[in-house]
Structure 1
Amino acid sequence: MAGGSTLAGRVRSIGRGFAVTAAAGAAAGAAVAGYGLWEKNQFVLREESLAILPAGYGPIRVLHISDIHFVPGQRRKAEWLASLAELKPDLVVNTGDNLSHVKAVEPLLAALRPLMDFPGVFVPGSNDYFGPRPKNPASYLLGPSGQGKDPVELDWPRLRSGFGMEGWLDLTNRCQSLVIQGLRVDFSGVDDPHLGLERYAGWPRGTKGQDAKPHLRVAVAHAPYQRVLDHFTGDAADLLLAGHTHGGQICLPGYGALVANCDLPTWRAKGLNDWESNGRTTPVNVSAGIGTSRFAPVRIACKPEAVLLTLAARP
């Protein structure tokens, strides 16, 4: 009896140990989730400087916004987006994934209206065409996301026309020029590479050495796949702007992004870096984005951001 009693005691002790461990794990998981829900609204402005303009020009202030993933009722996000107009940028570049809900177009346009007082350009991402669906969170770690069956269509035509009516230029597989601070800026943009929709339009006529007047070449894409970076670098872009990665969204402090949701190395998942291809180098700014899918509304060690790039003349 004594031996049986001792064994039973050990079993109860082990059981209590498992229960304590499970409770501690659940508490830790809840704490992490709670932190992630908090951090998704801790909006920051990242500032960068680049000396890439022709001599005698600049500074030009470029506000890069991306991956807003707007959902109706996101009042704090809407107020922060509107407040960015106080920066008075010379140019706004929107690199897509604006929506995360079928009813998000009008409230998003209202939030962005103060920014649309400034010149702007835009390209779409997959979450301008299709809404997100619930999925296994573990699939986040398995590589680039795919388009599921029976996608929920979003009102991209209404969003595009809303941007266009306010004067922003649509660069969906198109090229166009703007004069900013007296400098001709040539843009070349593509449809979403994550969906394989990119088609290269080249640069506006008269650039790439055919025109002696100073100009700047800016490439714009949603998803920074290597094939896209290689193309624009080889095609003599002076700057490339992209989003899509969410900076990893779930990052490890001291390590960084676990995934980039494309074939970009994870250490390039956000920030300003040089991309080299065929003997050429192009600075690439990848935004960590402003939002998340409404079905994965957390960020960890990766605060939502807009980016203010101040472009100056080359030394």
Structure 2
Amino acid sequence: MKTSRVILSLAGSTAAVGALALAAGNRELRQFRLKTYELPILEPGTLRGSKDFTILHVSDLHMIPGQETKVAWVSALDALNPDLVINTGDNLSDPAGVPWVLDALGPLLDRPGAFVFGTNDYWAPRPVNPVKYLLDQKREPSYIDLPWKGMRAAFIERGWQDATHRRLEFKAGGLKLALAGVDDPHHDLDDYSQVAGAPNPDADLSIALLHAPYRKVLSAFEADGYDLALAGHTHGGQICLPGERAIVTNADIDAARASGLHRFGRMWMEVSNGLGTSKYAPVRIFCRPSAALLRMSERKH
């Protein structure tokens, strides 16, 4: 009887700790933050007297109707006056999420911008098996269509450019930009051959876009000579150890580079923590949702 009471007591304590962790993890979903990075990689004279060129990177909104706090926080990012906005996909987590995405991005859609999508833009989320997630096993999509075509049309109508399997060249903030992107490598939707080749050498800055940071695509962009790659998808690990140390990445990038600014060979790479989660996994632990502001400045002589 005494042993049974001890077992029951331990079980109850474990359940209580688990419940507290889940509550804290759910609360963290609304603790948004902005990560800021300084990147002095532009050629001297590129900025023509300006202090810097700023890129706002947003990813993984996973929008669900009713997320007013997220909408307000993302919309307020416009006050940063970014020269360029990049969205690396997974905007949706519900079929009715598109109007909420457009409200969140609102004023940012009036700025120069480009995007690629992730599979959670195309197909509805499905219940998550936490064991598979923690074992870093890829999950089959639901193949239930989301209204991504209307969202894409709205982005383009407002002036953003779709970089999916396209090479783009345009000016923003006084800089000549060369961008290229692929569809989501996580489910093998990418086809690098459509964008292969070095970026225009006349560009002041070359940027590679992909939703999920897979090494085969990153290696191709790096070999072609891109300056910077921007990706999302990992959620920074979502369930992390203290200090935002990822346990899994949900991609084949190493856990140490599951979020933040890092080198990938000669190329810089910034991986976003993302701003949401699947509606079937509404928890973050030691991994607050975030957007990133990259301040590009000139190299020293």
The answer, yes or no, to whether TM exceeds 0.5 is yes
TM-score per shorter chain, which class?
over 0.9
Find the counterpart in structure 1 of residue 186 from structure 2: 194
Instruction: Output the amino acid matched with 1:179.
Output: K
Which has the higher mean CA deviation after the structures are superposed, 136-145 or 24-33? 136-145
Find the counterpart in structure 1 of residue 280 from structure 2: 295
Find the counterpart in structure 2 of residue 79 from structure 1: 72
* Gapped regions of structure 2 (runs ≥ 5): none
Instruction: Output the amino acid matched with 1:157.
Output: K
Q: CA RMSD in A?
A: 1.5
Which of 22, 34, 39 does residue 50 from structure 1 map onto?
39
Helix, strand or coil at the partner of 1:259: coil
Find the counterpart in structure 1 of residue 155 from structure 2: 163
* Gapped regions of structure 1 (runs ≥ 5): 1-11
| 1:55-98, Cα deviation, whole Å (9 max, x unpaired) | 21231010000011000011111111111111111100000000
C-alpha displacement at 1:180, in angstroms? 1.8
C-alpha displacement at 1:145, in angstroms? 2.4
* Contact 2:178–2:200 under 8 Å retained in 1: no
C-alpha displacement at 1:100, in angstroms? 0.3
Q: Does 1:154 align with 2:146?
A: yes
Relative to 1, partners in 2 of residues 1:120 and 1:204: Cα closer, same or farther, differing over 3 Å? farther
Find the counterpart in structure 2 of residue 145 from structure 1: 138
Which of 99, 102, 106 does residue 106 from structure 1 map onto?
99
* Contact 1:177–1:204 under 8 Å retained in 2: no
| 1:251-304, Cα deviation, whole Å (9 max, x unpaired) | 01157111000111111100100011xxxx100000011100000000000000
Instruction: Output the amino acid matched with 1:265.
Output: D
Find the counterpart in structure 1 of residue 119 from structure 2: 126
Structure 2 CA distance, aligned partners of 1:136 and 1:147? 11
- In percent, how many aligned pairs have the same letter? 44
Find the counterpart in structure 1 of residue 109 from structure 2: 116
Helix, strand or coil at the partner of 2:21: helix
Structure 1 CA distance, aligned partners of 2:156 and 2:3? 66
Which has the higher mean CA deviation after the structures are superposed, 13-22 or 252-261? 252-261
Instruction: Output the amino acid matched with 1:272.
Output: L
Find the counterpart in structure 2 of residue 216 from structure 1: 205
Given the two structures, how large is their TM-score scaled by the length of structure 1? Answer: 0.90
Which of 177, 200, 204 does residue 169 from structure 2 map onto?
177
* Structure 1 stretches of 4+ moved >6 Å: none
C-alpha displacement at 1:214, in angstroms? 5.0
C-alpha displacement at 1:135, in angstroms? 2.9
| 1:15-42, Cα deviation, whole Å (9 max, x unpaired) | 2111111111111000000000000110
Relative to 1, partners in 2 of residues 1:172 and 1:288: Cα closer, same or farther, differing over 3 Å? same
Which of 80, 90, 96 does residue 83 from structure 2 map onto?
90
* Contact 1:186–1:203 under 8 Å retained in 2: no
Report the structure number with the largest CA radius of gyration.
1
Structure 1 CA distance, aligned partners of 2:105 and 2:3? 57
Between Structure 1 and Structure 2, how many residues are aligned?
A: 295
* Contact 1:187–1:204 under 8 Å retained in 2: no
Given the two structures, how large is their TM-score scaled by the length of structure 2? Answer: 0.94
* Contact 2:274–2:291 under 8 Å retained in 1: yes
